[in-house]
Amino acid sequence: MDDNTFLKFNITIDYFKNLGETIFKKKGEIFITPDDILNGIYVLLKGRIKYLLYSLDGREKIIFIGEPVCIIGDVPTYDRRPAGTFVTALMDLELVFIEYHTVIEAIDNNPDFSKYFITSICNKTRGLMAEMGEQCFQDAESKVLKIIIQFAKHYGDFEKEMIKINFPLSQQFIGNLASLNRVTTARVLKSLREEDIIDIENGKYILKRVSLLD
Amino acid sequence: MDDNTFLKFNITIDYFKNLGETIFKKKGEIFITPDDILNGIYVLLKGRIKYLLYSLDGREKIIFIGEPVCIIGDVPTYDRRPAGTFVTALMDLELVFIEYHTVIEAIDNNPDFSKYFITSICNKTRGLMAEMGEQCFQDAESKVLKIIIQFAKHYGDFEKEMIKINFPLSQQFIGNLASLNRVTTARVLKSLREEDIIDIENGKYILKRVSLLD
């Protein structure tokens, strides 16, 4: 959020400082975990944070990057439910911690704060929607290419700086593995050929960019 | 949202009706599209709606199901940005449409409305977070099983009510196709064997549930 956006709300950093207590976190510190019930919000004055989900097998998914002067923990503070995500300091942080009751009072009595708070939650929703779109609809070309690369790694023979895949791949099979319909699979394969990334010779797929194996 | 939750906010359906105009939509009608700039919110009185994203290749992803008395279009009405999603009537609907300026006035002057409105946006964020978790971390077992089913469809031979996959599948290959690490892949394959869904004989995978091919 840049200075102008912040000024637009007619709120100053001193306003936040007067509402709560200034605290500091070290780079790398995880200061919110999914089961936490938050007693208040953090307003980020300096530094950068990330909201994270972790999968059971240890992969992490960043769902939101926060910069000054964002609010951290708005949703769980407001709805009194567990945080649902990790929040981690990407740099040393300066924050103001504002207690739940002060937050509610400020929402009820200060339209500027209320506006800032609601906009902050809207931004979270927007961020999640954008991530979701990407996540759900990862482009078809990446999916198909990823599958071809896997087959090249496992069933490929080098031939003149290209990799010939010794495996009877069919369009339908690739489409099924990538969860894409026939039309899309055909379109993507055609475009990969036109971009000179793959070729098909005597029914065998050829990966023409060896560097993609790395 | 059940009646109790609604009553908790000290808001009545008549309150909404007095703020706006009652309108009706037919089942199947798409009444919000991603590029729409909304002039106000809809409060759902009867029926059910879904929020949708569509991919370029025509797949749809439901990101939110709304029941009475949910607010539709809260975020885009508040932040004045395009809706970003489709909203479709899953049944015949009765709604109250409340104009932007009336919404803002009600947020500023009626703490009960304000609370209801902010909670509504929190619910959207929560719904998206849950969907995101599922989407990102679709359970490893489903992913692996899906791959084995695809190989069974393409390279399978029926043998005594089972399907023997005539294909040299390796753990690593399956893991790579599913984007899972070695440990997780091994764990999932072990559990699929223990659940008697698959078996491995002389290095060949066997799918023991023919019904999974449907």
What residues of chain A lie within 8 A of the CB of B176, using their CB? 150, 153-154
Select from 3.20.20.120, 3.40.640.10, 2.60.40.1930, 1.10.10.10 the CATH code of B138-213.
1.10.10.10
For chain A, what's the residue count?
214
CB-based contact A84 B131, cutoff 8 Å: no
Phi, psi of B21 (to 5 degrees): -120, 130
Question: What is the average per-residue pLDDT within B32-49?
Answer: 96
> What does the alpha-carbon distance between residue A105 and residue A110 come to, in Å, rounded to a whole number?
8
Q: In Å, how far is A155's CA from the nearest CA of chain B?
A: 10
CB-based contact B111 A108, cutoff 8 Å: yes
CB-based contact A150 B173, cutoff 8 Å: yes
Q: What is the pTM of this model?
A: 0.72
Q: Does B143 touch chain A (CB under 8 A)?
A: no
Q: In Å, how far is B133's CA from the nearest CA of chain A?
A: 7
Question: What is the average per-residue pLDDT within B122-138?
Answer: 81
From residue A112, alpha-carbon distances to A124, B142, B170 in Å are 19, 47, 60
The larger pLDDT score, comparing residue B103 to residue B202, is at B103
Under CATH, domain A5-136 is a member of which superfamily? Answer: Jelly Rolls (2.60.120.10)
CB nearest A126 (choices: B61, B75, B170): B75
Interface with chain B: mutation pick from A105, A120, A128, highest number of B CBs within 10 Å? A128
Question: Is the preceding omega at residue A69 within 30 degrees of 0, hence cis?
Answer: yes
pLDDT digit string (tens) for B58-105?
667 788 889 999 999 999 999 999 999 999 999 999 999 999 999 999
pLDDT digit string (tens) for B1-29?
444 445 577 889 999 999 999 999 999 99
pLDDT digit string (tens) for A125-148?
998 888 777 766 667 788 899 889
* Fold match between domain B5-136 and domain B138-213: no
Predicted ipTM of the assembly: 0.70
What residues of chain A lie within 8 A of the CB of B118, using their CB? 78, 107, 117-118, 121
In chain A, the residue whose alpha carbon lies closest to the alpha carbon of B57 is: A184
Instruction: Give domain limits for chain A.
Output: 5-136, 138-213
> What does the alpha-carbon distance between residue B29 and residue A115 come to, in Å, rounded to a whole number?
32
In the structure encoding, which two tokens stand for residue B50, read together? 């879904």
Chain A / chain B CB contacts < 8 angstroms: 133
In the structure encoding, which two tokens stand for residue A73, read together? 């923990």
Chain A stretch 72-111, residues whose beta carbon is closer than 8 A to a beta carbon of chain B: 75, 78-79, 81, 84-85, 107-108, 111
CB-based contact B57 A140, cutoff 8 Å: yes
What residues of chain B lie within 8 A of the CB of A139, using their CB? 56
pLDDT at B57 over 80: no
> What does the alpha-carbon distance between residue B64 and residue B197 come to, in Å, rounded to a whole number?
33
In the structure encoding, which two tokens stand for residue B75, read together? 């975020």
pLDDT at A58 over 70: no
Query: Of A54, A126, A87, which is closest to residue B128 (Cα–Cα)?
Result: A126
> What does the alpha-carbon distance between residue B185 and residue A181 come to, in Å, rounded to a whole number?
26
CB-based contact B176 A183, cutoff 8 Å: no
Q: Does A196 touch chain B (CB under 8 A)?
A: no
A208, A156 Cβ separation under 8 angstroms: no
Q: Is A44 exposed, middle or buried (0-12, 13-18, 19+ CB in 10 A)?
A: buried
CB nearest B75 (choices: A84, A117, A122): A122
Q: Does B135 touch chain A (CB under 8 A)?
A: yes
